[in-house]
Structure formats: structure tokens, C-alpha cells
A and B are shown apart, each in its own frame.
Chain A
Amino acid sequence: MNSVVAPVTPPRSRGALTAFTTTWASQIGITVAFLGLWIAFIVLAPSTFLSDRIYLAFAQTVPYIAIVALFLTMVVIAGDIDLSFPSEMALGMVGFVFAWQATGSVELGVLAALGVGALAGLFNGLVVTYIGIPALVATIGSWYLFRGLTLVLVNGKSYALVTASNAPSYDLLVGKLGGVVPMEFVWLLVLAVVAWVLLNRHRLGQNAYVTGDNGLAAGLMGIPIRRTRILLFVLTGVAAALAGLMNSFQIVNFYPTMGDGFQLPTLAAVFVGGTSVFGGRGTIYGTFLGAFMIGAIQAGIVAVGLTDYYTNFIYGAVILAAVAVHALLRRRFE
């Protein structure tokens, strides 16, 4: 009786391989899906997908969706969602335009854009946590609200950013590192590391996982649920504003309906990456690969020789296939 410890039954034995697969099921799923798509593109369009040009193009365009997707992943892990980020991209740019025109400083404009993004995220967070509206509904509302605010503030006008394009922060955001690598990609790598650390090695991530997995338990164990959720909305708002800056700087133009084209690809990147819509589960690695899968499809379709009409069909097929792989792996190994 001396060996009696906590009142537990002895654990059943499980295979080591099963244990490994259980722990990494999600990452294995997305990696398989990613490699499958990549190999398919290489086989079907070798001249395009074996040259470096297409990858440099992806390195510039994918970050617009990936940067937001990284932080949106954390929002979804905490059990919320944010549909308003396309409007936050544009609203942030309103902050840029106003501050830049008032002060002549592009750098202040950049800071203003990020600040506006943070405020927009704060608004989402407060509405969701204090008024208690489900995030899905609340951010549909704020998506319209921020877009409307953007249109009203700039009177529906577009802004040419040519005169801003000599500023140092312009090169910092959308220049080329060593004349080759797009800065968008460099930022994506940096922010992926930041997001990974926040999610896996910081209290914020711990609290996000627990809140999304079992909100009741989180409350009972003293997790600051509201603060966690609000902070994640704020981070997503800042990320959206940054993506808005990059996208506008790249095309040297800001138009007030900017961003809406990114909505579904960004959401798709998060879910293709294996993040659970029910919260509590998701990885930065998955979202990173998911963003490149989604980002590669359009170029891939053209390179393979199909007409653009196939785009939506193949988007749908890839999204469903990737999510199905996750679901099957989970059912098999957990």
C-alpha cells in the first residue's frame, strides 16, 4: 500500500509511434498537404516551379495575407474570430494619410497607421468581451463600420503615395534586402518568430490556448480571459495595419476599398493550417505553410496552363482537402 499515490488507474500502454503522431498530428497534416500541392505544381508546371522567379514573387505577395493570418491564428485559438481585418488594413492607411499629410513625415504616418490598427483591434476586443457579442457577429459589424469610416474620412478618394516613396521606412517595409529578397518576406519571417514565441513561450499564448480550449476552466483557474482576448484583437489590428501599409506602399497607392480581397485567403490560410474553428488548437507553423499554399494557388493555376476560371474551384478543393487531412489524422490518432 505504500506505493499508493494519487487516486489514478495505471495508464494503458500506447505505442511510441502513436504518441509521436498524436503530438504532431496537426503539423504532419499540413506538411503533407503542403508538399503534395508543391509537388503537383512542380510536376504540372516544371519550368515555372523550378525557377526562382516564382518564389521571389510569392515572397512579396504572400506576406500580405500571412502576416495577418499569424495573429488571426491566435485569435481563433482563443475561441474568437476577426473578420474585420480587411477594413482595419484600410482604416490604418487613413491614419497614415492623415498623419503624413499633416506632418510630412512618412515615419509618423507609419506609426499612426499602426496606432489606428491597434485602436480598431481594441474596439473589437471591448465589444466582444464587455458587451458579450460573439466575435463572428461583432466583427462582421466592425468590418462594415471600419470600411464605412474609411470611406467617409477620405471621401471615397484614392491617394497616390509617390512622394512618400523616398522615405527610409518605405524601403524598410517594401524594399529589397540585398536587392533580391522582398522586405515583406523578411518581415513575415520576423513576425512569424514573434508570433511563435508569443503563442508557445509566453503567458499570452498559454492563456489563449486555455481560454479557447475550456473557457470555463480558464475562469476557474484565474486566467485573465478578457485581457487575453482583447490583446489578441489588438495584435491582429496592428498586423492588419502593417499589411495595409505594405500593400499600399507596394502599389504606391491607397484606395479606400483596399483589403477586402484578402479576407477569404487569409481566413483560409488559418484553417488550412490546422487551426481549429472551435478554439484551443492551432500552430504558427501550420498557418505559415497554409498561407503559402493559398498564396501559391492563383499563380500555380495560371502556370499550369488552366484558365483563371478554375481558380475558385481549386481554392475550394485545396481548402477542403487540407482540412480533411487534419480531421482524418485527428480521428485516427487522438
Chain B
Amino acid sequence: MPAGERESARQPAQIANPIVAALEPTAAPLPGGEKRLELRHISKSFGGVRVLQDVSFDLGSSEVVGLLGDNGAGKSTLIKIITGVHRPDEGEILFGGRRVGGLTVQKARALGIETVYQERALADQLPLWRNIFMGRAVAGPLGFLNVGEMRRMTAELMGESMGFTSAVLTPDTVVKGLSGGERQGLAIVRALHFQADVIILDEPTMGLSLKETEKLLRFVEGIRTAGKSAIFIDHNIFHVYSVADRIIVLDRGRVAGQFPTSRYSLDELLDIMREVALRGTFTEQERYRPADRPPGPASQAGEEQE
């Protein structure tokens, strides 16, 4: 399949996504084409089990990277290292070209990384506003909350971004009563509200209806349009392929390969995935094209190096 055709198929004309529109292109362009995020030689073990081994990858601005891999491939550990939940045993993490040590969740969020963990990261018995501002409460220097401000902002987000128009849903409604789709809207709006430059979506299509999935994929497109970057983790290669600029396949803690979607058809990728699953690596060297080139319509550089 020619690359140009794929490109246009992947870019729906109407990406009018108010969430993204409301957030504006806050992501400042990076000087000198630096990467938003770079991981270098990351390794991590839990109790003697090597979960990640020498993993390196990067994320450019306005880029959506899909992270694929079987259960136990190390996807969620990798995400938790980027978000500061776990510390890597070896390797370094760079944000916008600057090395960051001792990363914590607070630090990562301050650096502009937000994660949509789905409903797993919502507090069921708490009102919407406490969920939106979880870990990022609007508070004075002594820690006293500005509840009025948080309620007001939540109400605004509910109307503008979540599309919660029902009058009985207020910022004080507890999350427990929300539908799956509503909860997901909440999780996404929470990640977006804080002007993140990098948005990580952890299995975002899990448990969604077809229609909701479609909306979600369109929303991921919007992230790129707004000049932000995203890492999209999913089991489902069809979902990832339709929105990602580049797909990184993890297998048993290693990067098995990186594949720009502009140069690999879905069928090719499925073959590769199958092979990775069987052998643990991808060995078709003649077809492997290094991924640190700018993604895009079959770049000249790509042809020259082959």
C-alpha cells in the first residue's frame, strides 16, 4: 500500500476536538529538533526478574508512538518508569534534551507528562472535582485548598470538554455512578487539563464500545494536531496502527523493533508481530528500517540508506 494513501486515510478532515482546542498549542516547539522525551539504555529488575533490558526509545514533538507487546513484555513497567512510579536500575531519562534524575510522579507531572490510566486511577467514592485534581490540588502555600476554584474549573471542564450536560451531574457527584464512557472522559480530561506536553494512554480502548473507541482514536489524532506528543499502549494493533506515527514492539523486556507506520503496512506489521511473538526478535534485517529518522511519507533519507 503506498504511503501517501495511508497518510490521508489516517488524517480525518474534522479533528475539531474542543478538548485540544481549549488547551491550545501549549507545547512549546523544542529548540534544535530535540526530542520531547528520550530513554537511554533503561533496565529494570523486580526481585531478580529482568523486566526491562537496555530499552532505548525517543518521542518527538507532535508524534504519536504506539507501544505494542504481549502481556509481560514490559509495557507497563516502561510507562511507570517514564511517569516516575518506578526508578530504573540503569539508564537515563531525558526531557526536552535535559537529563532528569530521581524522577518522581510529582516531578514527571511538573515536567508535563500526564497519563490516562483509565478508570483504574479514579477514586470511586470521591466527587468529580477531587478526582480531576488528584495529586494536583489547587492550594495555597499552607496547603489549604481552593475548593471553589476547583469546583468551578471542574464544572467548566464538564461542560466544555467532557460533554456532561445533564443537570444532575455536578462537580460534587461521586464517580461511582458514572458510566464507563463518562469515567473515561474524566480520566482523559484530567490528563489534559494540566497542559501536558506528553500524554500517555495506557490501554485506553479497554472496555469501550465501538463508538467510544472511534471517538478515542479521533481524540488521539487531536493530541498530535495540538503539537503535543503521545504514547499509546494497547494490545490491539489495529487501534494503535490507525493513529500512531511509529510503532515500538516490546518483547520480553527488549525493544524488538521500531516501525514507522508510513513505511509498513498493517499486514507487514502483523507478520512482524507474529514473528516477534514466536522468536522473541525480529530478524528480517533487510526489511528493518531504523526508526530514529523523522516519520512521514516515505522519506528520501530512508531510501538512500538502504
Chain A residues in contact with chain B, CB under 8 A? 1-16, 18-19, 22-23, 197, 200-204, 206, 209-210, 213-214, 216-223, 276, 280-281, 334
Contact = CB atoms under 8 A, between A and B. Distances in A.
Contacts of B124: 213-214, 280
Interface string B72-90: 0000000000011100000
B215 A4 contact: yes
Contact of B182 (A2, A3, A8): A8
B126 A210 contact: yes
B306 to A, nearest CB: 40
Contact of B164 (A11, A201, A203, A220): A11
Nearest to B114: A221
Nearest to A14: B168
A220 B161 contact: no
Given A4-B215, A4-B218, A6-B189, A11 B166 contact: yes
Contacts of B174: 22-23, 334
B194 to A, nearest CB: 11
B135 A221 contact: yes
A13 B164 contact: no
Given A8-B185, A201-B145, A221-B121, A209 B17 contact: no
B130 interface: yes
Size category, B interface: 35 or more
Given A11-B169, A14-B166, A16-B167, A281 B145 contact: no
Q: Which of A2, A210, A221 has the most CB of B within 10 A?
A: A221
Contacts of B213: 7
Nearest to B13: A1
Contacts of B83: 220
A203 B169 contact: no
B299 interface: no
A206 B130 contact: yes
B122 A214 contact: yes
Contact of B121 (A9, A202, A209, A220): A220
Interface stretch (B60-68, B101-109, B278-286): B101-109
A68 to B, nearest CB: 23
A288 to B, nearest CB: 20
Nearest to A205: B145
Contacts of A18: 168
A75 B126 CA distance: 17
Interface stretch (B40-48, B136-144, B244-252): B136-144
Interface in B3-34: 14, 16-19
A217 B134 contact: yes
B168 A19 contact: yes
A11 B182 CA distance: 7
Contact of B162 (A6, A19, A23, A221): A6
Interface in B111-167: 115, 117, 120-127, 130, 133-137, 139, 143-145, 147, 160-167
Nearest to B142: A202
Nearest to B178: A11
A203 B164 CA distance: 27
Closest 6 CB pairs of A and B: A222-B105, A8-B185, A7-B215, A9-B181, A221-B135, A213-B123
Contacts of A200: 147
A200 B130 CA distance: 10
A280 B143 contact: no
Contacts of A202: 139, 143-145
B14 A9 contact: no
Contacts of B137: 203, 206
B145 A206 contact: yes
A197 B188 CA distance: 30
Given A11-B166, A202-B143, 20 more contacts: A2-B14, A4-B17, A5-B18, A5-B163, A6-B189, A8-B181, A12-B179, A19-B173, A23-B127, A201-B144, A201-B145, A203-B137, A204-B143, A217-B134, A218-B134, A220-B121, A222-B105, A280-B124, A280-B125, A280-B126
Contact of A7 (B16, B104, B126, B216): B216
Contacts of B176: 334
Given A19-B173, A206-B137, A213-B125, A5 B160 contact: yes
B123 A222 contact: no
Contacts of B147: 200-201
Contacts of A13: 166, 168
B170 A8 contact: no
Contact of B212 (A7, A14, A22, A216): A7
Contact of B117 (A10, A206, A213, A217): A217
Contacts of B181: 7-9
B231 to A, nearest CB: 15
Contacts of B85: 219-220
A111 B16 CA distance: 62
Given A202-B144, A220-B83, A8 B162 contact: yes
B123 A5 contact: no
B206 interface: no
A268 B160 CA distance: 45
A7 B179 CA distance: 12
Contacts of B296: none
Given A13-B168, A206-B137, A334-B174, A7 B182 contact: no
A268 B154 CA distance: 36
B130 A11 contact: no
Contacts of A206: 130, 133-134, 137, 145
14 contacts: A5-B17, A5-B19, A7-B212, A7-B216, A8-B181, A8-B212, A8-B215, A9-B211, A9-B212, A14-B166, A210-B130, A218-B135, A222-B136, A223-B135
